[in-house]
Chain A
Amino acid sequence: QKEVEQNSGPLSVPEGAIASLNCTYSDRGSQSFFWYRQYSGKSPELIMFIYSNGDKEDGRFTAQLNKASQYVSLLIRDSQPSDSATYLCAVNTGTASKLTFGTGTRLQVTL
């Protein structure tokens, strides 16, 4: 069973702080890694994706990938109350293949 593991949280951070969300995966054949944000009752919304080892930055978001450790993370700088949501880590093993999701980490940004 190929798994994607996330701490379910909640992760509570004060407004303006950095939120760090982590994800590990079991399938060494995983090639692409995605972070989706999901508000309660809503659909997953793509935040970032990363394919290569290292960091990828997009605005306040940075995705980090370490394939040797089978670890991917998402950093959110200057966290805002509107960032409060569940963050889903998803991986796939190649072109057009299915996404395997983790259970998600609930982030709470407090005033």
Chain B
Amino acid sequence: EPEVTQTPSHQVTQMGQEVILRCVPISNHLYFYWYRQILGQKVEFLVSFYNNEISEKSEIFDDQFSVERPDGSNFTLKIRSTKLEDSAMYFCASSVEIISNQPQHFGDGTRLSIL
């Protein structure tokens, strides 16, 4: 069964450094998402992306965050200058919307630890 893949599985970074999290969505999916989950808390939406532009973003997704689809397969989340509070699991998700309201499928996540 096709799946969303994320790399790396764990990223340790010094505060203030830039980090790029990578995702390969399911190949025929058209909509891409990033969510995060701080340890012990609920899954929170960050951003959605369609047709090479941001569709929607949350208050969390400030100027320090950016997303890009640099080629036909990868979807990346960049945090420009990481803070301690950015430590969380980051999940990429994708969906196909040929039929409306198709579910989002999640990758295994990247655990980001900011020191």
Interface residues of chain A, those whose CB is within 8 Å of chain B, are 31-32, 34, 36, 42-46, 49, 51, 88, 90, 92, 94-104
Residue of B nearest to A95 (CB): B100
Instruction: Describe A's contact surface by its main secondary structure.
Output: loop
Main secondary structure, interface of B, reads strand
Give the interface size bracket for B toward A: 20 to 34
A-B contact pairs, 14 of them (CB 8 A): A42-B108, A44-B43, A46-B106, A49-B101, A49-B103, A90-B43, A96-B95, A99-B33, A99-B35, A99-B104, A100-B45, A101-B44, A103-B41, A103-B42
If A46-B103, A94-B101, A96-B97 touch, does A101 touch B42 (CB 8 Å cutoff)?
yes
- Contact across chains for B101 and A95 when beta carbons are under 8 A apart: yes
Give the chain B neighbours of A94 by CB distance below 8 A: 100-101
Please list the residues of chain B having a beta carbon within 8 angstroms of any beta carbon in chain A. 31, 33, 35, 41-45, 48, 50, 55-56, 58, 89, 91, 93, 95, 97, 100-101, 103-109
